[in-house]
Amino acid sequence: MEFVDYYKILGIDKSASDSDIKSAYRKLARKYHPDLNPNDKEAHKKFQHINEANEVLSDPEKRKKYDKYGKDWEHGEEYEKARQQQQSRQQQYNYGDYNFAGSDDDGNFSDFFSSMFGRSEGGRKGKQAKFRGEDYNAELRLTLTQAYTTHQQTLTVNGKKIRITIPAGVENGQVIKLKGHGGAGLNGGPAGDLYITFVIEEHPTIKRSGNDLYTTLDIDLYTAVLGGEVTVDTLSGKVKLKVSPETQNGTKIRLKGKGFPVYKQEGQFGDLYVTYTVKIPTNLTERQKELFRELATP
Amino acid sequence: MQTDDLILAEELCSHYKVELSFISSLQQFGLIEVTSVEEAAYVPQRELQKLEQIARLHYDLDINLEGIDAISHLLDRIKSMQSEITFLKNRLSMYERR
C-alpha cells in the first residue's frame, strides 16, 4: 500500500482553497470521465483516483485528517485499526475458457483511502457523493462456427450467473456492454457495466473478412481440364459445386449468401469465395507420362 | 415493427432529480426524443441511456448543453471510427496470416 498524494493527483498545492480544489477536480474529471472515454481503462482508473482525491480534499474534516496523518499515515491510529481488517480483495472469475479478471484494489477507492477513512465512509453530499461502480472487462473466446449462429452462454461474474444471447455475426474485437453487471456502486451510485470483448478464433480452412468468407479448394488436374463436380465445406454444411471445363488454377468463384450472417440483420448473409488450387498429379506411370508427352506435342 | 415504451417525463424528473425544463431543453437541442401524448411529455425507453449520460455530463461535470451537443457528435464519430478500426484490423490479419 503506497502513500497517495491527493494534492499531486489534482495538480494543486497544500494551500489550495476549496474553489481551487473544485476547479481542479472539474477540469480533470472532464478529461477522464468514463462517458467521454468509452472503453478506456486507463482513463477510468485515473477518473477513480481523481474522484478519491476530491472526496478527501473537498471535505474539510477528511482533508484535516489527511493533512495530519498524510505523509506519516503509517503511524496514524486509523491506519493501525484498518490494517488489522485489511484483506486482499483480489478476485478471479473463471468460467471454462473465459477469464474475468477483476480486483477491488482497482475499484473506487485505493487501499490508502480505505485504511484512512474506511470503505463505507462516503462523505460527499448531493450528486457528487455517488460513485458509479467499477466496470469489469472480460474476454469471450468463440470459434468461427460458434460466432456463425445465435446462441446463449452462461457466464459467472463475481459469483453471479449471467445468461447472455450472442447474436450471430459478432466480429473479432467487437465489444458489447452489459449494463449494470459491473461492480456495485457506492453511496447509492449505479453499478458499473460489464464489457465483453469477443475474440474469434481462427478457423483452419475458412477465413473471414467482414461478412464474407474465403476458402481454398484443391481440385485435381483432370477435373480442372475436363470439368466435374466437387464438394466444399462451408460453415452451414457441405455444398456441391460444378467445375467448368478448362478451369484455371487460382480461379475464384462466389457463392452468394453462403458467407457469414450479418450482425443483427436476420436472414442476411455475406458471400463465400472459393479459390481453386489445381493439383498436378505426381508419381505418374510411364504410360501416363507418354500420354502427357503426346498432349504436349504441337 | 418496433414498439416504443414511453415513460412519463415527470416520473423521470423525480427519479433522476432533474427539472422538467432540463428535458425540454434536451429536446430543443435535438439531444433526446420526446413524444407528447394528450399534452403530457413522454420519453421513449430507448433514450434513457442517453438521458442518463447527458445528466451526468451536465450535473457532474458542469458542461452546458452546447458542449454536450458537440461531445455527442464526437462520441458518435469515435464509435464509428472504433468499428472501422476493428474491421480493418480483422481484414489486415487475414492477409498477415497468409
- Separation of CA B37 from chain center: 22
**How many CB pairs below 8 Å do chains A and B form together?**
48
**Structural domains for chain A:** 6-200 (1.10.287.110), 207-296 (2.60.260.20)
The mean pLDDT value for B54-69 works out to 90
Task: Give CA–CA dist A140/A97, Å, rounded.
Answer: 8
Confidence at A239, pLDDT banded by 50, 70, 90: very high
Q: Where are the domains of chain B?
A: 6-96
Of all residues in chain A, what percent carry a pLDDT higher than 90?
47
Tens-digit pLDDT profile for residues A41-68: 788 889 889 988 998 899 998 898 888 8
Q: Determine what percent of chain B is predicted with pLDDT higher than 90.
A: 38
Question: What value does the mean pLDDT take over residues A122-144?
Answer: 68
Residue A143 pLDDT exceeds 90: yes
Residue A245 above 50 pLDDT?
yes
Contact residues on chain A for B86, CB-CB shorter than 8 A: 171-174
Q: What are phi and psi of A268, to 5 degrees?
A: -105, 135
Given this model, what pLDDT does residue A124 score? 35
Q: What is the pLDDT of residue A287?
A: 95
pLDDT at A36 over 90: no
For residue range A255-280, list pLDDT tens digits in order.
999 999 999 998 999 999 999 999 99
Which residue of B60, B89, B97 is in closest CB contact with A173? B89
Of A141, A139, A136, whose CA–CA distance to A102 is shortest?
A: A136
10 Å CB burial of residue A20 (0-12, 13-18, 19+) is: middle
Mean pLDDT, rounded, for A61-83: 67
Supply the pLDDT for residue B96.
Answer: 78
Average the pLDDT over each of A16-30, A84-98, A160-174, B12-26 and give the range with the smallest value: A84-98
pLDDT score for A216: 95
Higher-pLDDT residue of A256 and A119 is A256
Contacts of B64 in chain A (CB under 8 A): none
pLDDT at A90 over 50: no
pLDDT band of A123, cuts 50, 70, 90? very low
What distance in Å separates residue A267's CA from the closest CA in chain B? Answer: 16
Which residue type does A254 have?
A: R
Cβ neighbours around A229 below 10 Å, total? 9
Q: Determine the Cα–Cα distance for residues A180 and A132; give it in Å rounded to an integer.
A: 10
Relative to beta strand A228-234, strand A237-243 is antiparallel
Give A46-50 contacts, CB < 8 A, sequence gap 24+: A48/A106, A48/A107, A48/A108, A48/A109, A48/A134, A49/A4, A49/A9, A49/A110, A50/A9, A50/A10, A50/A25
Q: Which residues of A touch B (CB under 8 A)?
A: 26, 29-30, 33, 35-36, 38-39, 127-128, 171-174, 179, 202, 207-210, 214
Highest mean pLDDT among A123-137, A251-265, B63-77: A251-265
What number is the average pLDDT over the span B38-65?
A: 89
Mean pLDDT of B60-80: 89
pLDDT of B97: 64
pLDDT bracket for residue A75 (50, 70, 90): low
The cell for A55 is: 472526496
Question: Which residue, among A101, A105, A260, has the nearest Cα to A174 in the 3D structure?
Answer: A260
Task: Report pLDDT for A269.
Answer: 95
- Tell whether the torsion through CA atoms of A138, A144, A148 and A153 is positive or negative: negative
Query: Are A35 and B57 an interchain contact pair (Cβ–Cβ within 8 Å)?
Result: yes
A97: pLDDT strictly greater than 70: no
Position A226 scores a pLDDT of 96
Given this structure, which CATH class describes domain B6-96? Answer: mainly alpha
Average pLDDT over residues B32-56: 89
Give the pairing of strands A151-157 and A160-166: antiparallel
C-alpha span between A132 and A231 (Å, rounded): 55
Cross-sheet strand order for the sheet of B6-8: B6-8, B40-44, B35-37
- What's chain B's average pLDDT? 87
- State yes or no: pLDDT of A127 exceeds 90: no
Closest CA of chain A from B39, distance in Å: 31
Average pLDDT along chain A: 81
